[in-house]
Each structure stands twice: as structure tokens, then as C-alpha cells.
Amino acid sequence: MLNSAPIRYTIYGTLLLVLSEVGYYSCRALKNWYNSVRKPKELWALILTNEQSLSCLAEHQGNSRKLSAISLNAREPLDKISIIETKLACANPYCMGSNIDRIVDLLNATKYSIDLAMFVLTSVKISKALVKAYKRGVIIRIIIDNDGAYSTNSQCGYLMNQDIAIRLNSHLNGRLMHHKFCILDSPSSAKYLLKKQNNLTKHTLKEINNISSILMMGSANWTIQAFATNYENILLTNQKQLIKKYSDEFQRLWELFAPTSSERADLVY
């Protein structure tokens, strides 16, 4: 039978096809395994504010162009890692507008959870981004210092009126809640919060384990003064150990600052 050339070519062709399919699926399985076990690239970026933060203000007057995480041609936001790696729209690395926009873009790109601890929050632009995230289903928890919550131009009332969960250190007299950090899509927080909502599916769990998490921490409150005139710093990083440490501390504070029976009840998670 193998003496027949057509039959021989048919057999060889079939074997070649089978081997190519085996090779293809083997390579794909190996690639998927490698992607699941390889250590993700650790990144960081630094936001600095100083006396040059407003030096480019005149150039931006009437110019609405900016780096936006939400592309006009895309239905999904860019990945948070891509936002950190993308060069700022303004040539001034200390630009107030670009630095605020970078934080807004990261909030826009968050999918599951935002844990924010801030002494004072007065930025309207950032607050609107938080509300936007909440309305698309992101679980948001905010801890603010009691005095900072009632300071001039505080956005605390606006955020609470939008049903965003906020806790204060009001029953711990004499102790400032002086942290300034924010965790986006913390794996531990997202799993904990979704589990409490009975929304932690196998698919969601797998996605959370592979999602890009970001920690923002530094000296700056999220206020116009901090971004425009102060000497401040904010470190952005995806370093997993730091994210876990900050997530654990946020959860500890969230439980510590639970409202007493005499205080206004918030949305409890």
C-alpha cells in the first residue's frame, strides 16, 4: 500500500498535520504555564511637586489635551501598568495638571476595589473620578481624619452623599489619621469585599489573582495646594509585598474606625 505515491503523501500529510497541531497546543500550554508562574515586572514611578508645578500653567490655558486612560476608540480602560509607563502629556515633570490626571487615569482604570486613606481630600477632579468608579461597580472605602473631613473645601460630604463608604477617627481623640496612601485593586481587599457580597466567582478570583494592583503613597494630601505649591512626593508601585502590607494596615484601620452607635452609620463592608 505504501508503494502508492498518493497514499504515501496522504499519510505523510496527515502525520504532519497531527504533529503540527500537537506542537501548537503544546507551545500554547507551555506559554500559559509560564505566564502563570513568572514573576511580574516590578515597576515604580514618582510624582514630585515643587515651585515648578505651575510653571507650565499658561501653556495649558484653553488646551484640553491630556493623557487619558479611557481612549475615545476603546471601550475598556488602559491597564494601570501602561498608564504608569506612559510618558506624561506635559514636558514639565512637576506639572500640576498632568500629575492629577495620572491619578485620575489610574482611578479610571481600576476594576474591583479602591482603598484610600487620606488626611485631607479637596480635589474636585479626583473626587469625581472616585464617584465615577463607584458608579461602575468599584467597591470604594475611604478613611479620612476627622478634622480633615470637615476642613474647608473637603469633598467628604460630597462623597458620602454619593453613598461611598467613609470612616473617620472621630472616637480616637488626640490621634491624627495622617496617612496618605491609596491601593487600587488590592488582591486581598478585592477578594474579601467580593466574598462578603457573595460575588466572588471562580472566574473573578482568577482575574483578581492576575490583575495589576497599584499602591500610591507619599507625603501629599489630594489637594490643589499639595499638587500646585507644596514640596511633596507620591510613589506609585506595583510591588506586591508593599501592597499586601498597606492592605493589611488599611483593613486594620477600617475595623478600628468602625462607627460607634452614637455616630452616623455608613455603608459597612
Q: What burial letters (b/e) apply to 6-25, b meaning 16+ CB within 10 Å? A: eeeeeeeeeeeeeeeeeeee
Local structure of 18: helix, strand or coil: helix
pLDDT at 171: 80
Residue 266 pLDDT greater than 50, yes or no: no
User: pLDDT tens for residues 63-85?
Assistant: 655 545 444 344 455 789 999 99
Residue 122 pLDDT greater than 60, yes or no: yes
User: pLDDT tens for residues 158-168?
Assistant: 999 999 999 99
Local structure of 5: helix, strand or coil: helix
List the beta bridge partners of residue 184. Answer: 114, 214
Q: What angle do CA 261, 262, 265 make, to 5 degrees?
A: 65
Residue 2 pLDDT greater than 90, yes or no: no
Percent of all residues in the chain with a pLDDT value above 90, rounded to a whole number? 69
pLDDT at 89: 83
- DSSP symbol at 177: -
What is the sign of the dihedral through the CA atoms of 62, 233, 113 and 118? negative
pLDDT at 224: 96
Please, what is the average pLDDT of the chain? 86
User: pLDDT tens for residues 190-242?
Assistant: 999 999 999 999 999 999 999 999 999 999 999 999 999 999 999 999 999 99
pLDDT at 251: 98
Closest CA to 100 of 111, 110, 89: 89
Closest CA to 104 of 56, 68, 142: 68
Residue 173 pLDDT greater than 60, yes or no: yes
The model's confidence at residue 38, banded by pLDDT at 50, 70 and 90, is low
pLDDT at 39: 63
The model's confidence at residue 170, banded by pLDDT at 50, 70 and 90, is confident
Local structure of 28: helix, strand or coil: helix
Residue with cell 500529510: 13
